[in-house]
Structure 1
Amino acid sequence: MLSQESPREVISPEQDQRMLSTPVLCYIFKDKYLPPPIFHRLIAACITRWPVAKKKETSENLIFCGCCIFDVDLFHRLTLYCRSHIVFARITRMVIDEAKIPDTKLCTRVRKFISLNLNKIISYLSQNLQYGLSVQCTSSQGVSDDSKVYFSPMFDIWFAEESHAHDAPITPEHMNHARLCVALVTVCGNAMREVLRTKVPAQHTDIYQAILANKGKLTGRPGRPLLNPSQINVVFPDPQGKKTGTLDQFDISLLYILIRNISAVQAPIITGWGNDPQDQPRDTSLGASVERIRSFRNHITGHSPDAKISRQDLEDYWTKFEAVIRDIEKVIGRQVCSQELDRQKRQVISVYEAC
């Protein structure tokens, strides 16, 4: 590829009355790893779609090491560049007219083209790579600062057409709900798995033996088996019934049934099984903690009318999550999920602080 570095004004142009740029779209690769050939091939794919822009004064092609600018149409330019493990894209409207922002339909088309070709390239090179899409926030003064880059998983002009098409734009409250769902499934779900692994009835060597020993109880209860057909297929994937699925395949509802019916966990002291113990904060038993997680699952995912959570409710739920995980770890006698919950909490806080 070219050896000439892109000038700073190409990456961070000064806004003036003649042009207006979108926020920078960021393809952030997991594990901070992006092989250079992937970006090189992406540039090549874009060259087949749009001409490389030229510098007005010298007619020099605006292509550099790790950066290329394209004339998407008569009015818009695409700047595509790469730094470390992140691919950045920005569209700039270059003319004075009644339009105050870059064309939203064009932004959507460009994003889809980049994403489609990026996925094709990753697949072609047989790379097991994953990336996330975010929009780069500027600093509080509205000027890009290379030493401090903020990321926020928000929707803006790059996704405006899709939001309008469905008449349901993604809001911060939707993102709060998504964050809670992730914490619920990963952290609280893993905590329940540890409870099930730890509290195996004395007559069994491990939880899988306990599940096999209770197959009749779980599947053959007259009139109303404990497990529904889809759960039975997950727990007993072997038609001959000689092995079970793994705990990592069990969701919170299934884990709850197994803990309640075949583990050594005792029912909540005050409320018993099947009742919400949220009004009994002094009951910190494993059974109460399991019931609290079941209640979280019902309220956050099962019974949510609009998939929205306010910031205050997000913080309240996070405090409840921390208390439940702390109670479980205290009874089990070791850390199981608190560090992961702290990590996710720091991510949420950083997003709010950045924006």
Structure 2
Amino acid sequence: MSESGVGKDGVHGARPGREAQVGAGLPRPDGERRGRRGRRGRRGEKAMVPEAEFTSYYGRPVLKPPVWKANDVAAYLFLGGLAGAGSVLAAGAQLTGRPAAARALKISSLAAILGSTAALIHDLGRPERFANMLRVMKPTSPMSMGSWLLAAYGPAVGGAAVLDVTGLFPRLGGAATAGAAALGPAVTTYTAVLVADTAVPAWHEVHRELPFVFAGSATAAASGMALVAAPVRETGPMRTAAVCGAALELAASMAMEHRAGLVAEPYREGKAGRLVRAGEILSAAGAAGGALLGGRSRAAAVLSGTALLAGSACTRFGIFHAGVRSAQDPKYTIVPQRERVNARGTKATT
């Protein structure tokens, strides 16, 4: 038992070092606190408590996985890209005196954008929901701007195709072709911005590279459509575009998987991994076949174009499934967040 006590004459029997210290436990000045941390770091001390493993409630996803239907939304991504890139190539074909290729691309772009819009509306459930998105214009919302973009692009590409086929009002048809080509790049890539603006890890973490993947994939697909539908004598520029598009798609995909780190796993494993690899192989084979044989044989051109179209579709479906899988597994959400927090802490102490 302690023999110290307090009497009329004060404290007696107190042991040294037991007095209360004024200011003890209060935060130290920033410089002193950094100095102590630095000295511990120089001595090489290690934390005695291991870093906690991430977990979630009964292993359930941290994020709510997308409820979009693969057959609707992935098709919407593919067909929209095909339409936008096709309009750009159609304008180029018309300017360079390739009327059959220009007409084929205009018709395919109209069919693709109609199919893309139908897939989007089917996923929304009711047609009026698409119309309701046009009630406001919000520049910070990719969905809002995408809706207005489709509303402007649809009449332009429709006018370009119909007036070309009928031969009516050639000047108006030329203006519609130019308008569709001007909006085509945005139609091709805005869907990449749309999915990357979500919290889905496999989409959000690659927001820098995803538009380039979509642009390259769409260019390869539109070039493939020209190889399938246009005469061989008019497809020279499209074969070059196919090579450039496939190269851009493959390079951007490699950069995307390299920078994403752990979050790139869904792009290499499971159903998504198989689709992405198939897309890369088909795109490379289609581009090579078109460049080497597409100008000599009609059959080779059709086969190469079909491979390019199939490769682009596989890429879009693979990206969609990779996003869904990354949202279902909590590690793809928590581990990157922890790495960012640790990186900020490291910068703050240096």
TM-score by length of 1: 0.24
Greater strand share, structure number: 1
Which of 1 and 2 has higher RCO (CA within 8 Å, sep 6+)? 2
Greater helix share, structure number: 2
TM-score by length of 2: 0.25
